[in-house]
Chain A
Amino acid sequence: MAGAEDLKLLGMWASPFVLRAKLALSLKGLNYEYVEEDLKNKSELLLKSNPVHNKVPVLIHNGKPVCESTVIVQYIDEAFAGTGLSLLPSDPYERALARFWAAYIDDKLLPSWTKTSRGSTEEERAEGKEQSAVAVENLEGALRECSKGKPFFGGDNPGYVDVILGGLLGWVRASEELYGINPFDPAKTPLLAAWAERFGALEAVDPVIPEVNKLVEVAKMMQAKLAAEAAGASN
């Protein structure tokens, strides 16, 4: 197992992308040093390690940085192939399906959620809502297809897609309090709703997910700030 000094994760506690990296590390039982970044005052290490995007998460392994959450999760799985769970399956076709759905989550699901909550017009937000409904329906089908009746996208054990989607769980839980919406409505997407409970309760997962009330607090602060700016009030 890697010593704590070999692995460093630069992150921000509320970021779903950082959570993905944490989940992967946790599920594989890897020790690492976590560095909380102040995104309004980014550390030199972060800027140096991710010069292209200046974003978190960044995983630094033996001094070498890896950026982009999906790239990081796959890297963790491959660089520590002998350790803990295998996140990607071994069969090429199942790997392709996993990569497809991971890309779908970032390319279709997330943007639709962002549109729903942060669309600048009523029309845009309604469009986002429609797109979200389609996206979760597709993911419900994906879960059915990938899990084949087993608890996770990865089958008996959580895998790549579970981690990629799992990163969003904090905000999924906060969504109900913030917007009165459960993105994984048990009436419409029963498999996803059950998956969210199950995955969230895992020993390797539960302690890692940021607290919902803290996320709600951050979101409300953000909303208030945006509202104040819109109203033309000074900070």
Chain B
Amino acid sequence: MSPSTVKLIGAFGSPFAHRAEVALRLKGVPYELLLEELMISKSDLLLKHNPIHKKVPVLLHGARTICESLVIIEYIDEAFDGPAIMPTDPYERAMARFWAHFMDNKCAKPFMLSVWSEGEVQKGFLKEVKENLALLQAQLEGKRFFAGESIGYLDIVLCSLAHWLTVIEEATGVKLVADDEFPDLRRWAKEYTSNEIVKQCLPDRDQLLAFYTAHLERYKMIAKAMLQQ
């Protein structure tokens, strides 16, 4: 199957769509990017190809449709030739998947709610965020990237920590991480965002800030709903 039949349905500012783009670019797979305007409405194409979740990213490879960013990354790694994204050793693969699961299932909610909640509730989430970051930083073990000398699966999965976190801090005025905290993570974030391949598909920081600033109310509502669950 020729790589030229690859399309990616994404959206500006989505760290999940970014994950898929980085994976494609690391493998050297040319693709057409189709951008959704999620704040306005979801396209027929998106609804047709991801009827279950109705979310980006969606990878279209010939007649195949793949949804869910973590699933997409592993698919790209396995379906296309090129440098390996996942580790080859089964135990290291298990560790990478464990921390990806941790990021998406344990970190996402406290991060979201720490910037959008108030008072004692917020204090609780802020504490949780710092605990999570400490655990993640420990996985770096002084390496350049989570995957070692070059970018790999876990680096891609944790991308929002490298780029989105400070933007959200600025947009909301809530400082999650003090300037002297988590120096290893800071160093990693610089390495990640200045990587030649990552830079090609990283949303412009100013545009990202403007995006969050413009949609503050919307995110507040989403967070409120999350809190009630």
Bound-complex Cα distance A71 to B100 (A) = 10
Which residues of chain B from 123 to 149 have a CB within 8 Å of any chain A CB?
Answer: 135
Bound-complex Cα distance A78 to B75 (A) = 16
Residue in contact with B93 in the complex, picked from A78, A92, A96, CB distance below 8 Å: A78
Bound-complex Cα distance A130 to B147 (A) = 42
Bound-complex Cα distance A96 to B67 (A) = 9
Say yes or no: is B84 at the interface (Cβ < 8 Å to chain A). Answer: no
Which residues from chain A contact B101 at a C-beta distance below 8 Å?
A: 68, 70-71
Whether B64 contacts A75 by the Cβ 8 Å rule is no
Which residues of chain B from 202 to 219 have a CB within 8 Å of any chain A CB?
Answer: none
Whether B90 contacts A99 by the Cβ 8 Å rule is no
Say yes or no: is A46 at the interface (Cβ < 8 Å to chain B). Answer: no
Expressed in whole angstroms, the minimum distance between the Cβ of A68 and any Cβ of chain B is: 5
Whether B78 contacts A64 by the Cβ 8 Å rule is no
Bitwise, B152-167 to A at CB < 8 A (1) or not (0) is: 0000000000000000
Whether A103 contacts B68 by the Cβ 8 Å rule is yes
Query: What is the chain A residue whose CB lies nearest that of B67?
Result: A100
The count of chain B contact residues (Cβ–Cβ below 8 Å) is: 22
Which residues of chain A from 102 to 125 have a CB within 8 Å of any chain B CB?
Answer: 103-104
Residue in contact with B52 in the complex, picked from A52, A78, A79, A138, CB distance below 8 Å: A138
Whether B66 contacts A100 by the Cβ 8 Å rule is yes
Whether A93 contacts B71 by the Cβ 8 Å rule is no
Whether A75 contacts B74 by the Cβ 8 Å rule is no
Residue in contact with B91 in the complex, picked from A66, A92, A104, CB distance below 8 Å: A66
Say yes or no: is B178 at the interface (Cβ < 8 Å to chain A). Answer: no
- Known contacts A52-B102, A66-B98, A67-B98; is-contact A96 B74 (Cβ 8 Å): yes
Please list 19 pairs of residues, one from A and one from B, whose beta carbons are closer than 8 Å in the complex, sorted by A's number. A66-B91, A67-B98, A68-B97, A70-B101, A71-B94, A71-B101, A72-B94, A74-B94, A74-B97, A75-B90, A79-B90, A92-B78, A92-B79, A93-B75, A96-B75, A100-B66, A100-B68, A100-B71, A103-B68
Chain A positions within 8 Å of B, measured between CB atoms, are 52, 61, 64, 66-68, 70-72, 74-75, 78-79, 92-93, 95-96, 99-100, 103-104, 138
